Chain A
Amino acid sequence: MIDYQLLIQRYDPEHDNEPRLQRFTVPGDHTTSVLDALLYVQQKLEVTLGLRWSCRMAICGSCGVMVNGIPKLGCKTFLRDYHSDITIEPLAHFAVEKDLIVDMTQFLAHLSAIKPYLINDYSGTTVHKQTPAQLAKYQQFSNCINCGLCYSACPQFGLNPEFLGPAAITLAQRYNLDSRDNGKAARMPQLNGKNGAWGCTFVGFCSDVCPKQLDPAAAVNQAKVESAKDFIISMFKP
């Protein structure tokens, strides 16, 4: 065990006017994750520390934080990879509710807005056939754990919270690309608007930080192509 220095952003809306950094010394070995360290602080040093977490295995999407300015899942980021002070702050571009807990309301609203469910008029009782090749078209985009890291990485979402953002556009593409779905027309108005795919300036940082390597930037780019096609087709419609 060696000692690590953590600087954790604290903010208690009942007492603080603005956030502050608080220093903690935490013992760790080569297996200690940032989440382990935060839970050590909460259990042993500062019971009032607020954070979200649950699964500890990078699938529930709860424990996103900024680690030295980069959005990370706390449970899949390890102290061993840092050599000086480790600064832990709440996810950027979201309003802070307390300490490391941010307001996810807007994020959930964006997910809901793109109609994230199969839309079709299938009324059969048997399974749809879907070949592995058809599955592969959208499978990667179906692996989003809704952690929100890509929103913290996205400068456009930082400037304009109305921008649907990488995860929601990826989710729209996940359904648009599903061979069982006919709902693209219902989703395009959201993607076509200025807060849709065109809000993206292709910085690409969302794909760098995605803990599941979904490449949301690729999904957004595909959505732009779809949106352009949608626009051209609409010009020839009466």
Chain B
Amino acid sequence: MQILQTDIIVVGGGGAGLRAAIAAAEAAPQLSITLLSKVYPMRSHTVAAEGGAAAVTLSSDSAAAHFHDTVSGGDWLADQPVVEFFVKQAYRELVQLEHWGCPWSRQQDGNVAVRRFGGMKTERTWFAADKTGFHILHTLFQTSLKYPAIKRLDEYFMLDLLRAGEQVVGVLALALNSGELVQIQAKSVILATGGAGRVFHYHTNGGIVTGDGMALAYRHGVALRDMEFVQYHPTGLPGSGILITEACRGEGAVLLNKHGKRYLQDYGLGPETALGQPQNKQMELGPRDKLSQAFWHEQQAGRCGDYNGHAVVYLDLRHLSRAHLQQRLPFICELAKAYVNIDPALAAIPIRPAVHYTMGGIATDINCQTTLPGLYAVGECASVGLHGANRLGSNSLSELLVFGRVAGEQAAHYASQCPAADSKALSVQSEMSQRWLNRRFGTNTTDSVAQLRQDMTLTMEQGCGIYRTGEGLAHCQQQLQALQQRYQQLKVTDRSKVFNSELMQYLELGFGLDVALAICSAAMARTESRGAHQRLDSGMTVRNDAGFLCHSQLYYKANSLPHLSWQAVQISSLPPAQRSYGADNAAAENSADSTKGTQP
């Protein structure tokens, strides 16, 4: 088995991983950094983010306002010291991206332009047309090429973490183009492996978003935190789930039901705004959880249209000029044309909610450090405590940058001090993994990876959707356990070494099943409704701060249900209050102004 040695290994080549690698290279140029990814970095799913990245920018805006939007948007489940740190760092990071060449969209005077986004009380979202994630990812990837300390292992699949006692000391990986295992010894490991949207059936995510890092940290004893909070993006294309950015609504798009009527005023987001005059935190600029929930109610009431068998509502951009659409939303025009044959200047786009983002993840502190020495996590795979029960659009791209930098610096600091691990124990662990891997191959009589995966995604869609019930969750949990039993029997039938897709998908499915069971188990335990987690059961339909103003933490138990504990939310300056949008929000803000609120 090949053995490689490095100081820091970053797993995942998306925005968070690349930012971490660059930060580590700048913080400690003498260290060697290995960036390992199962795909080429520019294929990472950061590439699909469209709308933008948030930071306090306008002179009329303030850190206190961004803090308030994020905490209330997260239904008070965000850790407030983390949010305070984030809102203060975000601007610097977006400027850093500008210095590295990101083609941010501009105002006529050459300053960076900002746009409206859902749940944000003022314009603070930086954007590069409607391909912001793409440009951030490519800017970071191209910039990373400047640093000789960063060595890449492209198309290597993380099989396991290497451990020396409690300490994480590297990664065991599969070289996809040869099928060989490689032991990569490191002093610190940063997981930046992205989310787990692929455990659901309808989602906006790429094929690679399978929860690998979450599952591995979890299996090694790190808690998965707040997993019940799964974000449905309100505007995905029917069937494929392809993302139609919230920036459409920021630019003035409205949502219509099958009768051509706007409906969000019926769900606490009104009064209705005039066409072409979007108002912050009102109607279509409400937060994602509320909009997806409103869709569900419209569907229950029979007011959705049909698109190829999918219930849909319509995103109407027709009142915006073609020139404006081409300048601000060119990718949306391209996607609508290619995938639903719609010209948004002439017809409304059929859309429906699709799973988009996992708010929860690997529990870390504000330094991106997990409970295992040497192991850090950052980005969508992590739960640093920023998003609470519902993430605001455009906070996650900023998160990648702010906390990617933190993770890189912290991991570099740790690696500079940490002694090398005993490599003998690692050989034993690696040999065991090799033997485990060899036993995965065989024949199946009826089952297949593809069939089991489909059963998992449909089960999750059924049981852990926008609205949940105790009965549905219990059924979902039983089914997931049955699927895990089937997984134990499942074999990989393709014995080839070079780019064995079945083997990779088999391993991803194993990770996904663990993450799915964590999501379902946390959702069962939270018998209240908060943010993206909504229960229909009697007595559970509203937020219950007395019982549940706390994070769920799940600990892995092999062949069993996870162990759950609760962790208090850190509240530093903004005590829990009613979340309000539209007219209610305006009233609440007026009263807060008159009583001098307690924001930082």
The answer, yes or no, to whether A127 is at the interface (CB within 8 Å) is yes
Assess the A42–B134 pair: CB atoms within 8 A.
no
Partner of A59, one of B40, B331, B448, B497: B331
* Given A48-B502, A61-B42, A56:B98 Cβ within 8 A: no
B450 interfacial by beta-carbon distance below 8 Å: yes
Let me know if B566 is at the binding interface, CB within 8 A: no
| Residues of chain B lying within 8 A (CB to CB) of residue A180 | 101
Q: How far is the CB of A126 from chain B (nearest CB, A)?
A: 7
Within the complex, the shortest CB–CB distance from A179 to chain B, in Å, comes to 9
- Is A27 among interface residues, defined by CB-CB distance under 8 A? no
Tell whether B248 is near chain A: CB-to-CB under 8 Å: no
- Tell which of B99, B107, B308 touches A31, judged by Cβ atoms closer than 8 Å: B308
B124 → chain A, closest Cβ, in Å?
A: 15
Known contacts A57-B242, A116-B145, A117-B146; is A131 also within 8 Å of B110 by CB?
yes
Is the CB of A21 closer than 8 A to any CB of chain B?
no
| Cα(A171)–Cα(B141), bound, Å | 13
B535 CB-CB contact with A under 8 Å: no
Residue count of chain A within 8 Å CB distance of chain B: 58
CA distance in complex: A14, B135 (Å): 38
> Does A135 belong to the interface (CB within 8 Å)?
yes
* Residues of the A chain whose Cβ atoms lie less than 8 Å from the Cβ of B134: 59, 143, 145
Q: A142 near B: Cβ within 8 Å?
A: yes
User: Would you give the shortest CB distance from A53 to chain B, in whole angstroms?
Assistant: 6
Q: A97 CA to B516 CA in the complex, in Å?
A: 34
- Residues 141-181 of chain A: 1 if any B CB is under 8 Å from the residue's CB, otherwise 0? 01101100000000000000000000000010001001011
Asked if residues A118 and B43 are in contact (CB atoms below 8 Å), the reply is no
List the B side residues contacting A101 at CB < 8 Å: 499
A52-66 interface with B by 8 A CB criterion: 52-62
Q: Which residue of chain B has its CB nearest to the CB of A50?
A: B499
Bin chain B's interface residue count.
35 or more
Q: Is A138 an interface residue (CB 8 A)?
A: yes
Chain A residues touching B, majority SS: loop
Chain B neighbourhood of A42, CB < 8 A: 450, 501
Q: Among residues 310 to 360 in chain B, which have CB atoms less than 8 Å away from a CB atom of chain A?
A: 331, 334-335, 338-339
Mark out the residues of chain B between 469 and 514 whose CB falls within 8 Å of any chain A CB in the assembled complex: 493-494, 496-499, 501-502
Asked whether, in the complex, the Cβ of A122 is within 8 Å of the Cβ of B207, the reply is no
* B95 sits at the interface (CB 8 A): yes
Contact (A135, B101) CB under 8 Å given A48-B496, A56-B242? no
CB pair A58 B334 closer than 8 Å: yes
Query: Quick one: CB contact mask for B30-65 with A, threshold 8 Å, 1 for yes?
Result: 000000000110111101100000000000000000
* Closest residue on chain B to residue A53 by CB atoms: B207
The answer on a CB contact under 8 Å between B108 and A118 is no
Q: Does B177 contact A (CB under 8 A)?
A: yes
B159 touches A (CB below 8 Å): no
- Cβ of B240 < 8 Å from any Cβ of A? yes
A97–chain B nearest beta-carbon distance, Å:
6
A235 within 8 Å of B (CB atoms) = no
- Contact partner, A117, options B40, B106, B143, Cβ 8 Å: B143
Contact of B135 among A99, A130, A142 (CB under 8 A): A142
User: Interface residues, chain A, CB within 8 Å of chain B?
Assistant: 12-14, 31, 42-44, 47-62, 76, 97-99, 101, 104, 108, 111-112, 115-118, 122, 125-132, 134-135, 138-139, 142-143, 145-146, 171, 175, 178, 180-181
Give 10 A-B pairs besides A59-B134, A97-B498 with Cβ atoms closer than 8 angstroms.
A47-B501, A53-B207, A54-B208, A57-B335, A58-B335, A97-B177, A108-B40, A127-B112, A143-B134, A145-B134
**Can you spell out 30 A-B residue pairs with CB atoms less than 8 angstroms apart?**
A12-B498, A14-B496, A31-B308, A42-B501, A43-B448, A47-B448, A48-B494, A54-B206, A55-B206, A56-B242, A57-B240, A57-B335, A60-B43, A61-B43, A62-B39, A62-B40, A62-B43, A76-B338, A98-B496, A98-B499, A117-B101, A118-B100, A129-B109, A129-B111, A131-B110, A139-B103, A142-B138, A171-B142, A175-B101, A180-B101
Which positions in B face A, CB cutoff 8 Å? 39-40, 42-45, 47-48, 95, 98-101, 103-112, 131, 134-135, 138, 142-143, 145-146, 154, 177, 206-208, 239-240, 242-243, 308, 331, 334-335, 338-339, 448-450, 493-494, 496-499, 501-502
